[in-house]
Structure 1
Amino acid sequence: MIVLSHLWPSHAQSCQIKNEASVGDAFERAPLRTTNSNEMLTVLIWLRIEKQKAFLICLKAVGNRSSKMTGHWRINMPDHGHSHQEVAARISAPPGTGVLRDAVLGAIDGSVTTFAIVAGVAGAGLPPFVIVVLGLANVLADGFSMAAAAYSGSRAEKDNFRRIRKIEERHIKDYPLGEWREARAILAQKGLSGRVLDEATDAITKNHDRWIALMMEGEYGLGGISPHPLRAAVTTFLSFLVAGMVPLLPFILSLDSAFTLSAWMTMASFFTIGALKSIWSLSPWWRSACETLVIGGAAAAIAYGVGSLFNF
């Protein structure tokens, strides 16, 4: 016997299935109570038969159902564990935002700016040697500039965090009652009230570091994870360098129809960057890929059009 349940936030229905062949059919017959792709579809399967193919059939049914609901497959990131040890380790050392933003920014900008130079110079009818020289100069110089900007921006965020923290430390020292009231108001917005609210406020304000952390998050919207300027700079430069070299490869290798190959390779690069970016997005991969492709293609078309004006 298999019990298969799909649970919506406001509805639950179970289908009892006597044999593995009817698992998918029973799932497909279950009424669809929502069309929102962001709502969670949870399938709880208890297998009381020996054959494991039923589990695969259940997964296939879930996939078919999800495809009908969302119109595309989603790439789900693995869930983290919730044991006592796992929770303690994760909360004590949160990972922060990572380098996703810097990698995407560097890769897209590297592809767009380098191919813009290639398209502009090719549109002006200049020889391939000029394209290679200007392209390499752009990859190195603009890549370094992007890395320096990422470093400076992250460093500014870090300095601003430290500045605000100093302000809160001074306020707690000079105006402890007022800061206690602010902490109480922040916790009240989180749903606490009455005696529990007062006890929680007292407990947090007894610890200086936790008090400041609460004020930083509740009053200024700043988390406890400081940016990493050097990591942001290195990530931006490397992603810019790798993506920026793609439009230049046909010219460096002296291939026939180099500009055509460069255009197709760059478009493929735009498409790939957008598709990979969708892993961390709610958008389907094809939409993210096409969006990046359109943005990069528009920039390249503008550059080529400007270059063509000087092709006498």
Structure 2
Amino acid sequence: MVRLKRRRNEALDHDHDPASIARRLERPREAQTVPDAILGGIDGCVTTFAVVSGAFGAGFSATVALVLGLANLLADGFSMAISNYEAIQAQREYIEGIRKSERAHIDRSPEGEREEIRQIYRRKGLRGETLERVVSTISQDRQVWVDTMLSEEHGLQTTGLSPLRSALTTFAAFLLVGAMPLLPYTLGGLDATQQFVASLVIAALMFFLIGMLKSLVYHRPMLQSGLRTLLMGGAAAGLAFLAGHVAHSVFGVGVA
């Protein structure tokens, strides 16, 4: 235990030496794919298992459940990927619009924009000559000046936004995880109840594993995160089952 702690401290010291810091800061910031993968995986599993639950509750056959599940898997996965693409593209266009606006403000009222920089860093605790040097340094470089206004005044993330990458990651995760609850319906030798129970177990496992993945990435309690995701996914599936059962009972919808 002591040796492991020593190794971690040595690795931390190495990551914070001047050369390592310089290399890390010079690297282009990549698009974050983990949130897109988590979003796609959860929604894919919820979508297909909700279809399976609704079909089982309504008394549909395994074939109908499989066909509906595959249709929803492809259609909803594509729709979600497109929505994610458009959302991030719109965010990039919004940032570019703000960037153009800040450039125009610098051209028309440079002293006013310097005062904004001054007040921003005064709020961070800088005073006197130090504050004025910071204002002067930032305002000497137009690109740095604009980027500072985007991040400090508007709170915008200006890097790591890739609409295509996010869309493809969401779509792939949606298909991969969403297909899991449908696997029992591709196997012979199981009756409808056994297929549904197997699908239920697989979906629960997927929800729990996705929650654990979130805990590893975002440094949250593993068990708590897994159970939380499991409960949210289970609630969505329960609603779908209830809707299918009510439709079967009230309207006689179903296939024997």
Report the TM-score, using the length of structure 2 for normalisation.
0.88
Inter-partner Cα distance in structure 2 for 1:308 and 1:196:
69
Match of 1:108 among 20, 39, 42: 42
The alpha-carbon deviation at position 235 of structure 1 amounts to 0.5
> Is 2:32 the partner of 1:95?
no
Task: Give the RMSD, CA atoms, in angstroms.
Answer: 1.8
Partner Cα distance (1:203, 1:95) in 2: 24
Aligned to 1:227: 161
Q: Write the deviation string for residues 69-119 of structure 1: whole angstroms up to 9, x where unpaired.
A: xxxxxxxxx857123222122222353561121111100000011100001
Map 1:164-183 onto structure 2 (within 5 A).
164-183=98-117
Task: Find out whether 1:152 has 2:89 as its counterpart.
Answer: no
Query: Post-superposition shift, 1:159?
Result: 0.4
SS at match of 1:310: helix
Higher helix share: 2
Residue-pair matches, total: 240
Matched to 1:213, the amino acid is D
- Give 1:45's aligned residue: none
Q: CA deviation at 1:218?
A: 1.2
* Aligned-partner residue type, residue 204 of structure 2: M
Spell out the pairing of 1:1-312 with structure 2 (5 A cutoff). Answer: 56=1, 58=2, 79=12, 81-95=15-29, 98-256=32-190, 257-311=194-248, 312=252
Which stretches of structure 1, 4 residues or more, deviate above 3 A after TM superposition?
A: none
- Equivalent position of 2:8 in the other structure: none
User: Which amino acid in structure 2 is aligned with residue 182 of structure 1?
Assistant: E
Q: Which amino acid aligns with 1:144?
A: F
Q: Give the conservation status (yes or no) of the 8 Å contact 1:103–1:239.
A: yes
Q: In the alignment, is the contact (CA less than 8 A) between 1:158 and 1:226 conserved in 2? A: no
Q: CA deviation at 1:226?
A: 4.6
CA distance in 2, matches of 1:141, 1:103: 17
Per-residue CA deviations over 1:235-280 (Å, capped at 9, x if unaligned) read 0000000111011000012351211101111111111111111012
Do the aligned residues in 1 keep the contact of 2:92 with 2:161 (CA within 8 Å)? Answer: yes
Cα deviations by residue, 1:130-154 (Å, 9 ceiling, x for unpaired): 1111100011000000000110010
More strand by share: 1
Q: Distance in 2 between matches of 1:175 and 1:200?
A: 19
Q: Which amino acid aligns with 1:279?
A: L
User: Take 1:208 and 1:95, find their aligned partners in 2: how far apart are those partners?
Assistant: 21
Supply the distance in 1 between the matched residues of 2:232 and 2:189 (Cα, whole angstroms).
27
Change (3 A) 1:175 1:245: same
Alpha-carbon distance between aligned partners in 2 of 1:232 and 1:82, rounded to the nearest angstrom = 31
- TM-score, with structure 1 as normaliser: 0.73
- For residues 189 and 108 of structure 2, the distance between their equivalents in structure 1, rounded to whole angstroms, comes to 71
Aligned partners of 2:102, 2:115: CA distance in 1, in Å?
A: 14
Larger Rg: 1
Instruction: Tell me the CA shift for residue 183 of structure 1.
Output: 1.0
Which one scores higher on RCO, CA 8 angstroms, separation ≥ 6?
Answer: 2
Letter paired with 1:308: H
Structure 1 unmatched ranges of 5 or more: 1-55, 63-77
Asked if structure 1 preserves the Cα contact closer than 8 Å seen for 2:31 and 2:162, the reply is: no
Pair 203,104 (structure 1): closer, same or farther in 2 beyond 3 Å: same
Letter in 2 for 1:265: I
Following superposition, the deviation at residue 291 of structure 1 comes to: 0.4
Task: Give the Cα separation in 2 of the matches to 1:272 and 1:263.
Answer: 14
Conserved? CA contact 1:150–1:233, under 8 Å: yes
